[in-house]
Amino acid sequence: MKTERGKNILLAHGSGGRLTQELIGSVFGRTLSNAILDKMDDSAVVKLDGNLAFTIDSHVVSPLFFPGGDIGRLSLTGTVNDLAMAGAEPLYICAAFVIEEGFPQDDLESIVSSMSLAAGEAGVQVVAGDTKVVERGAADGVFITTSGIGLIPASVRISSSAARPGDAVIVSGTIGDHGIAILSKRQGMDFQTEIRSDCAPLGGLVATMLDASRRVRTLRDPTRGGLAATLNEIAAASGVAIEVDESSIPFRSEVRAACELLGLDPLVLANEGKLVAFVARQDADKVLSAMRGHAYGAGAVIIGEVQESEKPRVYLRTLLGSRRILSMPTGEQLPRIC
């Protein structure tokens, strides 16, 4: 069925009646079609055996379309990445849409197409969904919540509480791209080079890393709260100190310039296609070289190490050589970043 161009979403599209069926058929069913989704039951049925990772994330990013992605790609990759960070192979996704009455159906189609492309890239299937429509002014455009299931290989034990003194801390590439891409689009800022979101599915990169070493202890994607929040969470969960070297942390020069201009700390900016890995020292180089062979890990570097500590702490060795505590971010720098 072909969607009519130029139409807007009506409250009746969320009624559970004929218009809901038409919307599901024309937008979701057509674009995301697979054997499981096509059954159109309320629940998908999938056969699995073993340790499963199970996760959920709501996406409320504003604007909905930004350089390097949109809410469709972001909502798919965000959940894929949470599964990958548990050491799981991401497999199945459910997606729920809360749509504001009057939202352009063309935009919804673009978003679902983008989600479908990202699912293809990530090797996952969207197997069930839900659509609610709220009246004009009761939501802002569209919010997308995705939930995912992945299978954790029997040999894999990845946890945010598994970092050990001596482990190397690796980031997979430049930090802060997503945060600055959203902010510059939102503010209408114009840089010589467009800063694009790094929004990408990381399941393949993680598989490469786990193939290279059985001593990958902890994986995490530094999204909201950025590298600072992620490192603090891992330090607390593992009961260790983490020291990172500011000069080793990779930034695009445009991101650094934008941060200086706006007075932002790049270490709290969100990333949507980067990961932080804690790897046993003896395997760090092996993992690093495996990462660099993957498109989404080409810029991987070691940025620090884990140290013994009575109190969980994150230290930053600054460019000037001093050592300061890098604390958990407090206020809200950038609302609706993801």
CB nearer to a second copy: give 69 or 226. Answer: 226
CB nearer to a second copy: give 95 or 182. Answer: 95
CB nearer to a second copy: give 63 or 293. Answer: 63
The tokens describing 150, both together, are 């992945």
* SS3 label, residue 275: coil
CA distance 209 to 11: 47
Maximal CA-CA distance, the chain: 66
- Report in angstroms how near the CB of residue 52 gets to a second copy at its nearest: 5
- Report in angstroms how near the CB of residue 251 gets to a second copy at its nearest: 19
Peptide bond into 63 cis (omega under 30): yes
- Report in angstroms how near the CB of residue 193 gets to a second copy at its nearest: 27
CB nearer to a second copy: give 151 or 244. Answer: 151
CB nearer to a second copy: give 224 or 254. Answer: 224
Q: How distant, in Å, are the alpha carbons of 40, 41, 244 from that of 228?
A: 42, 42, 10
Q: What is the DSSP letter of 104?
A: B
Q: Mention every residue, 6+ apart, whose C-beta is less than 8 A from residue 50.
A: 151, 152, 153, 154
Do the beta carbons of residue 198 and residue 77 sit within 8 Å? no
- Report in angstroms how near the CB of residue 295 gets to a second copy at its nearest: 23
Q: Is 103 exposed, middle or buried (0-12, 13-18, 19+ CB in 10 A)?
A: buried
Neighbouring-strand partners of residue 317: 245, 323
CB nearer to a second copy: give 137 or 321. Answer: 137
Residue 322 amino acid letter: S
Do the beta carbons of residue 182 and residue 337 sit within 8 Å? yes
CB nearer to a second copy: give 105 or 302. Answer: 105
- Report in angstroms how near the CB of residue 21 gets to a second copy at its nearest: 7
Q: Mention every residue, 6+ apart, whose C-beta is less than 8 A from residue 170.
A: 276, 277, 278, 279, 284, 287, 288, 291, 300, 301, 302, 303
- Report in angstroms how near the CB of residue 236 gets to a second copy at its nearest: 9
CB nearer to a second copy: give 82 or 109. Answer: 82
- Report in angstroms how near the CB of residue 100 gets to a second copy at its nearest: 10
* SS3 label, residue 238: helix
CA 120 from centre of chain: 16
CB nearer to a second copy: give 94 or 244. Answer: 94
- Report in angstroms how near the CB of residue 145 gets to a second copy at its nearest: 4
- Report in angstroms how near the CB of residue 300 gets to a second copy at its nearest: 21
Select from 67, 91, 89, 64 the least CA-distant residue to 75: 64
CA distance 115 to 276: 24
